[in-house]
Structure 1
Amino acid sequence: MKKVAVIGATGFVGTHVVKELSERGYEVEALARDTSKVQQHEHVTAKSIDVNNVEALAEALKGNDAVINTFNAGWTNPNLYDDFLNGSVNIEKAVEQAGIKRFITVGGAGSLYIDGKQLVEGPDFPQDIKPGAQAARDYLNKIKENTTLDWTFFSPAIEMHPGTAGVRTGKYRTALENPVFDENGRSVLSVEDVAVVLADELEQNNHIRERFTAAY
């Protein structure tokens, strides 16, 4: 596998995924609405896209061996739920239309389970990000119906935010439906190591047509 498209390439997660893949020697097609923020690298090519233009996005994706989707509709977006869910569905359609089989998409931790209950349904779940978490949870249910793509849905650790940036250890533990907790009862992973997890999954294909999570 040589060429990988990253959707949402200028976002918090996408920026680090582009960096990780390019440093591993992949040819990276960095797709974003505003390409002026795409980092300059000999292995990186920037393309401006609108995720809701399925035909144009499919055309832009052609020629890639895989797609990693880090699209986020913006946490302060008043229409966050609909924009995230619709954007995610349209991206999935475009990947299929482009004839690409391998698709890794990033959702939230809100769909993970503790004691049989999803985090997003808990009374302490932050209200400001709840619409986005609900959209990611509902998209997970949708993509589970896809039998065409070799898809993987990644739920980051509960603590994966700008405050967790700065450290790339290359080490992590994984699980499927429940958060990974450390000895202090925290589920945390730096965004740099999220990029490592996604690149490793691209290379190892350990979670075809399933969801997984990772943390220290």
Structure 2
Amino acid sequence: MNIALIGASGFIGSALLREALARGHRVTALVSRPERLAPAAQLAVRKADVLDTVQLTGQLRGHDLVLSAFSGHAQPDIYGYYMRGMRSIVGAVRESGVPRLLVVGGAGSLEVAPGRKVIDDPGFPAQWRATAEGARDALEMLRAEQALDWTMLSPAAHIAPGARTGRFRLGTDQLLVDDVGESRISVEDYAVAMLDEAEQPKHLRRRFCIAY
């Protein structure tokens, strides 16, 4: 498969890149700083500005799918930058003719009770609120999208480096927790689930989630 990966040098993006290359896919890594990525077989690295929709459209053409690990963590206006970027990405995918878009989502928009989301908790970490709000609103934008086959994968509440086990649970819009009430996933297993979805689509035009 020929995959365009936006944000391939980031925390989750780098795990997605490793998993995609390990499975033998060809990957075009679209990043703002190409020097962060080491050369590898089956990997092409391109400098990209997600806010330049016209340029991005050209860079996406010819791929089988687009995998977006785009985030705004390093920007002063995290929410505003992320939403502008996501609108540009969706527009570029649509105009490029690439048939599928897979998006890294957040846990903040998952439900913990009917009508109540993770992000609604008064103790939700302030440093992650803008990111969570962006992922929540990007999901609503995708749900209103008429032209694309999209999928968003939300991680568990806690995602961190760990083992690639290949053993995890998948859900839909409700936060998954284990027997002691924790919601965890390794970034390596998150990447496994995302590439599984890329290879064998089971969640077209909807969001799903993952946890141990």
- Determine helix, strand or coil for the equivalent of 2:184: coil
User: Mind listing any 5+ residue stretches in structure 2 that lack a counterpart?
Assistant: none
1:210 Cα shift?
0.3
Counterpart Cα distance in 2 of 1:150 and 1:46: 25
Alignment RMSD, CA only?
0.9
Q: 1-side partners of 2:104 and 2:37: how far apart?
A: 19
1:106 counterpart = 2:111: no
Cα distance in 2 for partners of 1:142, 1:46 equals: 28
Letter in 1 for 2:78: L
For 1:178, the equivalent position in structure 2 comes to: 174
- 1:97 paired residue number: 95
Q: What is the distance in 1 between the residues matched to 2:52 and 2:71? A: 16
Distance, in Å, in 2 between the alignment partners of 1:156 and 1:71 is 15
- Provide the C-alpha distance between the structure 2 equivalents of 1:128 and 1:78, rounded to a whole number of angstroms: 12
User: Match of 2:207, as an amino acid?
Assistant: R
Distance 1:52 1:22 in 2: 26
Tell me the alpha carbon deviations over residues 16-63 of structure 1, each in whole angstroms, 9 at most, x when there is no partner. Answer: 111100110100001100011123211111010000000000100111
By how many angstroms is 1:134 displaced? Answer: 0.7
- Map of 1:25-44 to 2, 5 A cutoff? 25-44=24-43
| Residue aligning to 2:123 | 124
Q: Corresponding residue for 2:84?
A: 86
Aligned residue in 1 for 2:187: 191
Matched, 1:144 2:140: no
**Is the CA contact (8 Å cut-off) linking 1:85 and 1:139 kept in structure 2?**
yes
Q: Distance in 1 between matches of 2:80 and 2:54?
A: 20
Q: Deviations over 1:47-80 (max 9, x none)?
A: 1000000000010011100010000111x53200
Please identify runs of 4+ aligned residues in structure 1 that moved more than 4 A.
Answer: none
Distance 2:38 2:95 in 1: 28
2: CA distance between counterparts of 1:47 and 1:125?
Answer: 36
Pairing 1:54-69 to 2, within 5 Å after superposition: 54-69=53-68
One-letter amino acid matched to 2:71? N
Residues 82-130 of structure 1: per-residue CA shift (max 9 Å, x gap) = 0011111111111111101111001210000011201112111111110
What letter is aligned with 2:110? Answer: L
Q: Which residue of 1 aligns with 2:153?
A: 154
Number of matched pairs? 211
**Superposed displacement of residue 172, structure 1:** 1.1
Amino acid at match of 2:31: A
| 1:161-190 C-alpha deviation (Å, 9 max, x unpaired) | xxx203111111111011111112111100
Distance in 1 between residues matched to 2:146 and 2:169, nearest whole Å: 27
CA contact (8 A) 1:15 1:38 kept: no
Whichever residue aligns with residue 86 of structure 1, its letter is R
Give the structure-1-normalised TM-score. Answer: 0.95
- Give 5+ residue unaligned stretches, structure 1: none
